[in-house]
Structure formats: C-alpha cells, structure tokens
Amino acid sequence: MNRRVFLKSSFATLALPALESVAAAIPLKSTIAAQSQAPRRMVCVGNSFGMYPERFFPTETGPHYRMTPLLSPLEKHRNDFTVFSHLDHDIKGGHFSVHSFLSGVKMGDAKGMPEGNITVDQRAAEHVGAATRFPSMTVGSEDGLHGGCQMCWTRTGVRVPPIEGPREMFRKLFINENAKAQEEAADNFALRGTILDAVKDEAKSLERRLSGQDREKLDEYFTSVRDVETNLELDKRWSKVSKPEAPYAEPQDRSLVEDIPVLYDLIAIALKTDSTRVASFEMAGTGFDTSFFGLSSGYHSLSHHGQKPERIESLVEIEMYQMREFAIFLDKLKSIREPDSNGTLLDSTMVLFGSGMGNGNAHVNTDLPIILAGGGFKLGEHKRYPEERGKRVPLCNLYLSMLQQFGVETDTFGISTGTLRDLEVA
C-alpha cells in the first residue's frame, strides 16, 4: 500500500463490534415498542486478582450450603444467585490470562477461533444492535495493571476502552448535544462516510494485485471497515433521539474505589432507561486505591500474600468491600419494577461476578470465583463441578447458556462444549 492508503486505512482499524440489528429498516421507537416482554439484559463484573478461595467457596453443595465470609453480604439474595466451583478456561498465563475472563480465549490464540476472542458481553451487544443507544457500556479505569481494563474484546480483536468514571458515564447517558454540536456531528458523519468510501474503493482495486496471504490480511481490514461503518450508522440514527432526563446532578470523579457505588447506580439507571442492555464493570488492579481502607500495600501486592495472616486479612477486607457493593447493586436491581410486568430488573438481568484469576497468590487461572445472579435462571445453590482433567466443564458453557437465555441463536461460544446442562431456566 502507498502511504496515502495506509494513513486512511489506519482510521478504519479502530473497529467496534458488528451490530446485527443496526441495518434493519425498523424505526427505533417501533423496535423498542415491539418488545412484548421485558428485554433480556446482561451485566458482567470482574476484578483483576480473584477472591481468596478459602473465604469464598462453600464446603457444601446444593441449596443448603453455609455462607462463607465473602458470600455473607449476599445472604438476603441467597435464592437469587448461584456460586460455581471448578469452572475456568483451562489456560495458563497469570495476570495476562486474566484478560480472557469473558472470552475463554487468549489473545495469541484468537486468530484460530471462529469468533476470535470476542467476550460474552460483546457477543450479547451484537445481538442488541441498534435497539438501544449504547449496544454495551464498558466501565472501569485505564490506570490498571498491564495497560488498564482489558476485560472486553470485539470479534476483530480490538479492546473496548472503558468509560473511566461517573462523570463521563453520566454525560454519555444524560447530556444532549446543543444545536451547534449536532451540526458539527452531522458534518463529521459525512466526512467519516467519505473517508470510508475512499478507503474501500482503493483497497478493492489493490486486492487484485495481492498474494493469498496478503488477501487474508486485506479481508481482516475489510472486516474492520465494516465494523466502523456499522458504528457510524448507529451514531447517525441515535443522534436525533433525545437522552433521558438526568435523575440527579452530575457526579464528580474521585477514585475508582470511592466511585464504585455511583458507577453501580449509573449502570442500574442505564438498564432501567433502556439506554443499554449490556454493561461491564472491571475493577482493574492498580486503579484500586487501597488507601481508602487505610492500607499501605497495594491490591496487587496483597494478592501475593505469601500466606501471611495479616496480609490475608487486608486482602479479604478489599474483597469484602467489593462483595458488599455488589450486594447493594443487586438490591437496586431488585427494587426496580419492570413496566407492565410483575418482575423486577433483576429478574430480566443476568449478572455475572468473577475474575480471570483463580488464586492471585499462586498466579493460577484455574478454579475461577464465579457468581451468577438474576436473569430468569433457577438459582440459589452452590454447584461444584469435577476437578479432574478430562472431566472439567468449561466456564464457556455457562457463557453459552447465558447467551442463549439472552436470545442469541448460537450453539457455541469460545471453547464451550455445550451449555451448562444443569442450569435451568425459571
């Protein structure tokens, strides 16, 4: 490629997820009004360093297990969630494999997979398409271990950058552009469309002169262009629709730890107003300021506790905070009634909590701490799966069950071998 084509094509590599329903010619309001029941929603919450296993996993299985210390904040929701033991992706890599938490596929192995390393939230977002203003909302901090939040990935292998705090999220949800800004946006849409048209035309003329390997690379490039086009069309359609009224004044950013309650609240509001049906929240490592708890050691350092009791207690204090805030989030979802329905927002929202790290002290990515709440499943127990290699059940089986419950017509996801067969729909 000559320099001019390369420079223009670099714009198109900023790909966002393909959105299955964005091309439909159904008006936005009709699409929303056509819902005969509460739409399915999905929230995925993760942290960088797992949960201290001895305080997280119950000893007993079934519905009558004894609550462990880290599960105790969820006691009032006992019938609304299930905790899973011995589910993982059977991969190694320590901190770098944490990024495969929602996909089951390491970045290095993505090219050999039918859908790359797309994460379960982004696969659900593809299904939502243009039915909501935001197909998905990814929340977190860029000040994290190994480059910030890396929990969410598109099928083209692009990391979905996070919304970095309550203020940015609030503005995305509630602040409408003024007339001048809307006019500038319209001009920008036209410019972007012109650039994409030129890039595609030149790339197609180039295709005839390429070798087989280069054609494969060009196919990947065309996929990126299609992704950008899809996102452009989504922006155009929603730019003319007013955002919902803000429920309170614009919040100020503090630190990730202090902002967790506000971010959870904004996620709940985003779901309630149907601004999105898919949200993810990653509590990245170094962005988690432990001075909030009066601790001098960092989160990462404490996860490598070396079995020292005082360091374990400090780690558990951080994890207990996360579990308490997660319980409050479930409170919020359960308190919101669905319009024209006997159910609550929790009934229609599957909420995943977990990590791609099983034991931070040992740097292992097996036996991941996994909780699933809400979403119309029969829950309320502790499910333990086989530990033996060859008999282990992939975590992607749970993700496949979630996607099918969400309405995605698929028989596979990541490294799944089928659905999680003992997980029933209510």
Residue type, 273: T
Give the residue range(s) of CATH 3.40.720 domains in the chain: 35-175+248-406
81 backbone dihedrals φ, ψ, rounded to 5°: -145, 160
Strand pairing class (137-139; 382-384): unpaired
Judge whether 330 and 77 are in contact, CB under 8 Å.
yes
pLDDT by residue (tens digit) across 354-400?
Answer: 999 999 999 899 999 999 999 999 999 999 999 998 899 999 999 99
Tokens matching residue 285: 């490592």
Q: Using pLDDT thresholds of 50, 70 and 90, give the confidence band for residue 156.
A: confident
What's the confidence (pLDDT) of residue 288?
84
Give the Cα separation of 218 and 154 in Å (integer): 18
Question: Which residues have CB under 8 Å from 273's CB, separation 6+?
Answer: 173, 244
111 backbone dihedrals φ, ψ, rounded to 5°: -65, -30
What's the confidence (pLDDT) of residue 26?
34
What's the confidence (pLDDT) of residue 351?
98
374 backbone dihedrals φ, ψ, rounded to 5°: 65, -155
What's the confidence (pLDDT) of residue 29?
41
Cα dist from 277 to 127, 245, 303, 337, whole Å: 10, 18, 33, 16
Strands (E), 68-146: 81-85, 137-139
What's the confidence (pLDDT) of residue 289?
87
Tokens matching residue 400: 């496949």
Give the Cα separation of 294 and 299 in Å (integer): 12
Q: Which of 54-68, 135-149, 187-201 has the lowest mean pLDDT?
A: 187-201
Q: Which residue, chain included where needed, has tokens 């705090």?
A: 165
Give the Cα separation of 56 and 50 in Å (integer): 10
Q: Which residue, chain included where needed, has tokens 């995943």?
A: 352
Give the Cα separation of 356 and 365 in Å (integer): 6
Judge whether 121 and 280 are in contact, CB under 8 Å.
yes
Closest CA to 385 of 99, 82, 100: 82
Give the Cα separation of 245 and 239 in Å (integer): 16
pLDDT by residue (tens digit) across 298-350?
Answer: 999 999 999 999 999 999 999 999 999 999 999 999 999 998 778 999 999 99
Tokens matching residue 199: 């890039």
Give the Cα separation of 110 and 102 in Å (integer): 13
Instruction: Please say whether the structural domain 35-175+248-406 has been given the CATH code 3.40.720.
Output: yes
Give the Cα separation of 93 and 99 in Å (integer): 10
Give the Cα separation of 305 and 310 in Å (integer): 9
pTM for this predicted structure: 0.81
What's the confidence (pLDDT) of residue 107?
87
Residue type, 199: V
Percent of the chain past pLDDT 90, that is, above it, reads: 62
pLDDT by residue (tens digit) across 6-39?
Answer: 333 333 333 333 344 433 333 444 344 344 578 9
What's the confidence (pLDDT) of residue 209?
66
